[in-house]
């Protein structure tokens, strides 16, 4: 019965947040835009490490930006690539006067970005991942959102470019949903990440608050928290969709999420008191984010407990009959008791309460997801509905597994590496180092 | 505030739909019960009128229907559901035991009329007290039935139920504590076992008093 009560509470919380999201989206107006009379100078920094497959597409999309080229500079920072990235970038440098290519020793994305920011001349600095594609009108639309001096960063919507397999198709729906969440967080001034693909920063922000933290595993989240800690605002240009590459295997996705989630834990711990000036972010959005990490873990643990219990009882049964399984097989096959439609009907009806609530909740989530987020980039089709259904049923499990793996790493992990980044900030390492 | 109102309304809507569906599930199982009862009544009447005195196939079919009904009731009883109506489930179980008893009478009558060579087993358990040996004994009987699906008829009764024939058996077999097994082999003898017995031992007892053949 305790399980039941926890599921009831979780369902209610889910409903509450879903409606809250809908009302924020519908009732809170979008922050206003300004008309740009004189285009400011912009420096786009493209840190690149072994991106020979993608960098041409990225640079082509930047070249095609609808923006006065005399106000634009594109700085490609090759971060010690060992493939053909540098040569490809050099070809662009030869062709376009506003593209400049620099080569440095490998030091990680943040160090490449900082290298670029130091030499950049623009009043606005754009970070651009070298595996992303930007639409031509992105820069003009995004700059119009710098409507007051306290807006330090403007971020775009992000979507996966041409998802190919199950892992990418699930992420496609996840990214669409995250774009909706960004639109919601924008309305309550609570965006807490400035993602790599095409975030725009005011130059003064770096002058006042410093450059990217090169030791941080999620420098894009750290810089966003730092902006809030210094009283700045982050805005979201929801109609600008930047396409990016995404992990295509479960293993690579797990590694990416480990970095993101560890980064979330560490940056939140670091900034939780410093962001108090933003009451909604510190008192509502952050506790809610933590709640939605814990709830799936609790629910999955309860489910796992039930599954383990039923497996244990099955094991007890077979053990008590000395694993004499042949008669069991013959009996089940001869009586065809593997599937009973009436039992299915009973279990659907008797479990109908959950199905109804989950059905309604899912419908509402789809409503937001499909009618708001996807329309930005495309027409909603049955294809999207299908993948949204797959996403809803699989994602909670995948998400919980990733979080459990992250928590385990945070407690007991010794060392994790992502390219040039090394992470050793676990509890066990701290205890060992204390001794 | 608006979100709280909408969330609460949706939640209550979910609860009321869930309640209706749960009632519907219960009604469906009751309908199944009525269906099987009609069939067993009909078989009883036919037997009394000597219309189908040796119809073993029908007896087996009714037995399978009864097993299925048992599994539905078991599901309703063991599933966590905030709308679970314990009184309804107890009533359903009492009715189910009545059907089992009727089937037992049929099986007994057909066996004696037609000299069939099957064994009848009564199994008494207690759900009220946490009786792990009842669960284990149940496992052994399930397996025994699977080994000899058409040579053994097993009827399980919860001794906590206040039904006339259960009280009668409790008295007549001096049952104080579950599990208890009463075996009626085809030779007319009666074996009462008041402690846990594995399927091999039960099979041995039955073999000694009848001519059961191994199915595997």
pLDDT, one tens digit per residue, over A238-277 is 889 999 999 999 999 999 999 999 999 999 999 999 999 8
Contact A20 B11 (CB under 8 A): no
Sequence-ordered alpha helix ranges (H) in A230-325: 250-271, 279-280, 286-320
Which residues, other chains included, contact B49 with Cβ-Cβ below 8 Å and sequence gap of 6+?
none
Average pLDDT (B101-121) is 92
Which candidate from A320, A350, A357 shows the least CB-CB separation from B14?
A: A357
Angle formed at CA A117 by CA A115 and CA A121, multiple of 5 degrees: 125
**Separation in Å, CA of B143 to nearest CA in chain A:** 7
Interface check for B75 against chain A (CB to CB < 8 A): the answer is: yes
| Residue in B4, B71, B76 nearest the CB of A350 | B76
**Residue B149 sits at the chain A interface (C-beta within 8 Å):** yes
Tell me the shortest Cα–Cα distance from A214 to chain B, in angstroms: 41
How close B11 gets to chain A, by Cα (Å)? 7
Q: Residue A395: exposed, middle, or buried by beta-carbon count in 10 A (0-12, 13-18, 19+)? A: middle
Q: What is the ipTM of this complex?
A: 0.81
The dihedrals phi and psi of A158, each to the nearest 5 degrees, come to -125, 140
CB atoms within 10 A of CB B213: 8
Rounded to whole angstroms, the Cα distance separating A157 from A147 reads 19
Any idea which of A223-232, A423-432, B139-148 has the lowest mean pLDDT?
A: A423-432
Length of chain A: 435
| Contact with chain A for residue B7, Cβ under 8 A | yes
Candidates B1, B2, B3, partner chain A, best to mutate (most A CBs within 10 A): B3
For residue A54, the SS3 value is coil
User: β-pairing, A416-418 with B119-125?
Assistant: unpaired
Strands A199-202 and A151-160: antiparallel
A58 pLDDT above the threshold of 90: yes
Q: Does B60 touch chain A (CB under 8 A)?
A: no
Helices A250-271 and A219-229, packing angle to 10 deg: 20
- B142 and B211 in contact (C-beta within 8 Å)? no
Contacts of residue A320 in chain B, CB cutoff 8 Å? 136, 139-140, 143, 198
User: What are the phi and psi torsion angles at A193 (to 5°)?
Assistant: -150, 140
**Among the partner residues B22, B80, B146, nearest to A349 by beta-carbon distance:** B22
The candidate with the shortest Cα–Cα distance to B143, out of B198, B104, B61, B191, is B198
CA distances from A127 to A137, A202, A220, A397, B67 (A): 16, 11, 10, 33, 68
Give the separation between CA B134 and CA A362, rounded to whole angstroms. 43
Per residue in A381-400, pLDDT (tens digit) is: 777 777 777 777 788 888 89
In angstroms, the CA A46 to CA A131 distance is 10
**With 60 as the cut, is the pLDDT of residue A424 above it?**
yes
Q: How confident is the model over A14-29, as pLDDT tens digits?
A: 888 888 888 888 887 7
Summarised one tens digit per residue, pLDDT across range B5-18 is: 988 888 888 888 88
A289, pLDDT greater than 70: yes
Instruction: Pick the residue from chain A with its C-alpha nearest to B74.
Output: A343
Quick one: closest CA in A to B76, which residue? A350
B213 pLDDT above the threshold of 50: no
Residues in A whose CB is inside 8 Å of some CB of B read 1, 3-4, 8, 11-12, 15-16, 18-20, 22-23, 316-317, 320-321, 324, 326-328, 330-331, 334-335, 340, 342-343, 345-354, 356-357, 360-361
**DSSP state letter for A245:** -
Q: How far is B126 from chain A (nearest CA, A)?
A: 19
**Cβ B82–A356 below 8 Å, yes or no?**
no
CA distance B209 to A358: 56
Distance separating alpha carbons of residues A378 and A380, to the nearest angstrom: 6
Q: Which of B72, B80, B140 sits opposite A4 (nearest CB)?
A: B80
Q: How do A151-160 and A233-244 pair as beta strands? A: parallel
More confident residue, B209 or B20: B20
The rounded distance, in Å, linking the Cα atoms of B79 and B85 is: 12
Contact B11/A354, CB-based, under 8 Å?
no
B17: which chain A residues are within 8 Å (Cβ-Cβ)?
Answer: 352-353, 356
CB contact at 8 A, A411 and A428: yes
| Contact B201/A at CB under 8 A | no
* pLDDT of A374 strictly over 70: no
β-pairing, A99-104 with A124-127? Answer: unpaired
| Neighbour-count burial of B200, counting CB atoms closer than 10 A to its CB (0-12 exposed, 13-18 middle, 19+ buried) | middle
More confident residue, A64 or A385: A64
Cβ contact B216–A357 (<8 Å)? no
Prediction pTM value: 0.80
User: What residues of A are in contact with residue B4 (Cβ under 8 Å)?
Assistant: 16
Distance from CA of B124 to the nearest CA of A (A): 19
Beta bridge partners of B204: none
Range in A22-36, A50-64, A89-103, B83-97 with the lowest mean pLDDT: A22-36
Backbone angles phi, psi at A413, to 5 degrees: -65, 150
Cβ distance A99 to A74 under 8 Å?
Answer: yes
- Beta-carbon contacts of B45 under 8 Å, excluding residues fewer than 6 positions away, are none
User: Which tens digit of pLDDT belongs to each residue from A122-141?
Assistant: 999 999 999 999 999 999 99
Interface with A, mutate which of B2, B7, B24, B86 (most A CBs under 10 A):
B7
**Does any CB of chain A come closer than 8 Å to the CB of residue B11?**
yes
Question: What is the SS3 assignment for B57?
Answer: helix
Contact A357 B28 (CB under 8 A): no
Report whether pLDDT(B1) > 90. Answer: no
């Amino acid at each position: 019965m305790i399980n039941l009560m926890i599921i009831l509470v979780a369902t209610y919380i889910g409903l509450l947040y879903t409606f809250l999201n809908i009302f924020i989206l519908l009732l809170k107006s979008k922050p206003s835009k300004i008309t740009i009379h004189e285009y400011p100078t912009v420096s786009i920094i493209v840190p690149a490490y072994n991106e020979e497959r993608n960098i041409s597409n990225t640079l082509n999309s930047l070249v095609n930006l609808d923006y006065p080229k005399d106000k634009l500079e594109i700085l490609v920072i090759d971060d010690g690539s060992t493939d053909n990235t540098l040569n490809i970038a050099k070809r662009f440098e030869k062709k376009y006067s506003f593209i400049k290519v620099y080569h440095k020793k490998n030091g990680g994305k943040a160090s490449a970005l900082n290298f670029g920011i130091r030499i950049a001349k623009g009043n606005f600095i754009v970070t651009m991942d070298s595996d992303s594609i930007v639409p031509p009108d992105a820069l003009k639309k995004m700059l119009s959102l710098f409507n007051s001096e306290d807006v330090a960063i403007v971020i775009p919507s992000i979507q996966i470019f041409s998802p190919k397999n199950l892992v990418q198709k699930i992420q496609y729906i996840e990214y669409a949903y995250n774009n909706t969440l960004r639109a919601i967080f924008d309305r309550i001034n609570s965006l807490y990440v400035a993602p790599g693909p095409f975030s725009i920063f005011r130059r003064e922000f770096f002058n006042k608050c410093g450059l990217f933290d090169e030791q941080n595993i999620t420098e894009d989240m750290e810089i966003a928290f730092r902006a809030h800690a210094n009283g700045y605002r982050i805005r979201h240009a929801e109609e600008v969709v930047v396409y990016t590459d995404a992990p295509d295997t479960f293993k690579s996705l797990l590694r990416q999420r480990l970095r993101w989630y560890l980064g979330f834990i560490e940056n939140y711990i670091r900034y939780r008191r410093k962001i108090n000036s933003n009451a909604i972010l510190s008192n509502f959005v952050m506790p809610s984010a933590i709640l939605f990490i814990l709830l799936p873990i609790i629910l999955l643990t309860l489910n796992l407990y039930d599954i383990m219990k039923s497996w244990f009882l099955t094991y007890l049964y077979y053990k008590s009959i000395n694993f004499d399984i042949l008669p069991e097989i013959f009996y089940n096959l001869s009586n065809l008791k593997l599937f009973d439609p009436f039992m299915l009907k009973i279990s659907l009806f008797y479990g109908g309460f959950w199905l109804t609530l989950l059905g309604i909740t899912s419908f509402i989530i789809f409503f937001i997801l499909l009618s708001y987020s996807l329309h930005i980039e495309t027409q909603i089709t049955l294809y999207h509905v299908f993948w949204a259904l797959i996403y809803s049923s699989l994602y909670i499990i995948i998400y919980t597994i990733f979080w459990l793996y992250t928590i385990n790493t945070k407690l007991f992990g010794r060392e994790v590496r992502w390219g040039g980044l090394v992470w050793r900030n676990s509890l066990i390492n701290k205890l060992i180092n204390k001794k | 505030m608006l979100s709280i109102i909408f969330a609460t309304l949706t939640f209550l809507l979910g609860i009321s739909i869930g309640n209706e569906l749960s009632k519907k599930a219960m009604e469906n199982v009751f309908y199944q019960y009525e269906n099987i009862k009609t069939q067993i009544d009909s078989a009883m009447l036919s037997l009394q009128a000597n219309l189908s005195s040796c119809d073993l196939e029908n007896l087996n079919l009714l037995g399978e229907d009864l097993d299925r009904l048992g599994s539905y009731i078991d599901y309703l009883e063991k599933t966590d559901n905030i709308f679970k109506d314990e009184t309804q489930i107890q009533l359903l179980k009492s009715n189910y035991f009545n059907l089992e008893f009727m089937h037992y009478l049929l099986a007994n009558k057909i066996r004696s009329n037609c000299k069939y060579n099957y064994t009848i087993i009564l199994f008494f358990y207690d759900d009220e007290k946490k009786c792990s040996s009842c669960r284990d004994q149940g496992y052994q009987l399930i397996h025994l039935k699977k080994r000899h699906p058409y040579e053994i008829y097993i009827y399980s009764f919860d001794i906590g139920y206040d039904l006339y024939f259960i009280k009668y058996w409790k008295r007549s077999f001096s049952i104080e504590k579950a599990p208890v097994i009463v075996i009626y082999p085809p030779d007319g003898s009666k074996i009462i076992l008041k402690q846990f017995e594995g399927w091999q031992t039960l099979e041995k007892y039955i073999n000694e008093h009848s001519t059961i053949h191994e199915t595997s």
